[in-house]
Every structure is written in C-alpha cells, then in structure tokens.
C-alpha cells in the first residue's frame, strides 16, 4: 500500500480540559473587567486566569491515539508509545467493546498478536487501547480502507 491511511481517535478529556480552561480564562478576564478597582475582583480574576491557563496547558499535553497504515506498515502511536507491525503480518482485527475501546490485531493464523505494555511493565497485552469516544464504525471503516478484514470474516477464523 503506497497511500497513507490515518485515524486520530478523539479524546473527550482533552476537549473538556481545553474548553474548560479557555472558559475559565475568559471568565477571569470578565471578572477583572467588571470592576478593576476592587481587590476582590482582581484577585478572583487572576486566580481564574491562572487555573484556566493551567487546565488548558494540561489539555494540550494529552496525546490521542493515532492509527496509521503506510508503506507496508501498520503503526499505532500514543504519545511516546509506538507499535509498528509489518502489514503482511496482520491477518484480521477486532474491536473490543467497553467504556474505553481497544483494538485487537490477529496474525495470519488467527492468533492474537501481543504488544508490550504501555507502562513499561513486564506484562504484554493483546490489544491497543483507543479512547471511549472512538466509534467502532470509524475503526471498521479505517481498517476496511487499509485492507484489513474483521476477525469474523477472516479466512483463518
């Protein structure tokens, strides 16, 4: 496959922290603008701006999972954690249901592939965590465009 196919999973916590941070900064500016001569308004405004800025900065630091298929390679990236699998080693996939969805990959024989843990522990896992806002339909359409069949329709199941 010569084209790059990419899916960025939406992170709800990131959106909430960004919107809340920007709202608190605006609320702090309004609190100071209402009556800048009173010390309580200025103190409240400065505190709101500082908390809002900290919340917005923390929201920008949250990394969303990215699925990408390009140049014969499947890549999963979440912050500094990167998993690379040769495209020809993937036989099928399945999306695990739950509050936080996960993507499981199977090899050409139908066995689940194992990946190192996200927290540098000695255990390994058979799935790649996505986010709770990730729609299974979007993952299925991404995998269909990439050319990876679902587990229930794979030839080896």
Measure the CA–CA gap between 66 and 9, rounded to whole angstroms: 6
pLDDT the model gives residue 120:
60
| Residue 5 within a domain | no
CA angle 150, 151, 157 (to 5 degrees): 140
| Residue 3 within a domain | no
Find all residues with CB under 8 Å of 32, minimum gap 6, and list them: 41, 42, 45, 46
Answer whether 0.85 is exceeded by the pTM.
no
Q: How many domains are contained in the chain?
A: 2
pLDDT the model gives residue 151:
78
Tell whether 88 and 147 lie within a shared domain: yes
Tens digit of each residue's pLDDT, the chain (157 residues)? 457 888 888 888 889 999 999 999 999 999 999 988 989 999 999 999 999 999 999 999 988 889 998 888 889 988 888 888 888 888 889 888 777 788 899 888 888 888 876 566 666 778 888 887 888 888 888 888 888 888 775 444 4
Tell whether 70 and 23 lie within a shared domain: no
| Residue 2 within a domain | no
Domain housing 41: 10-61
pLDDT the model gives residue 2:
56
| Residue 91 within a domain | yes
Tell whether 79 and 138 lie within a shared domain: yes
Find all residues with CB under 8 Å of 62, minimum gap 6, and list them: 11, 13, 14, 17
pLDDT the model gives residue 61:
92
pLDDT the model gives residue 60:
92
CA angle 91, 9, 83 (to 5 degrees): 45
């Amino acid at each position: 496959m010569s084209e790059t196919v990419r899916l960025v999973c939406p992170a709800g916590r990131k959106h909430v922290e960004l919107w809340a941070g920007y709202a608190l900064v605006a609320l702090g500016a309004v609190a100071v603008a209402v009556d800048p001569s009173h010390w309580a308004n200025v103190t409240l405004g400065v505190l709101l701006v500082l908390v809002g800025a900290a919340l917005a900065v923390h929201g920008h630091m949250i990394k969303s999972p990215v699925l990408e298929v390009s140049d014969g390679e499947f890549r999963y990236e979440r912050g500094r954690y990167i998993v690379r699998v040769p495209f020809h080693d993937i036989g099928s996939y399945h999306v695990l249901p739950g509050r936080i969805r996960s993507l499981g990959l199977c090899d050409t024989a139908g066995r689940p592939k194992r990946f190192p843990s996200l927290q540098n522990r000695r255990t390994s896992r058979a799935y790649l965590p996505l986010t709770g806002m990730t729609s299974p339909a979007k993952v299925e359409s991404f995998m269909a465009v990439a050319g990876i069949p679902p587990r229930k329709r794979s030839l080896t199941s």
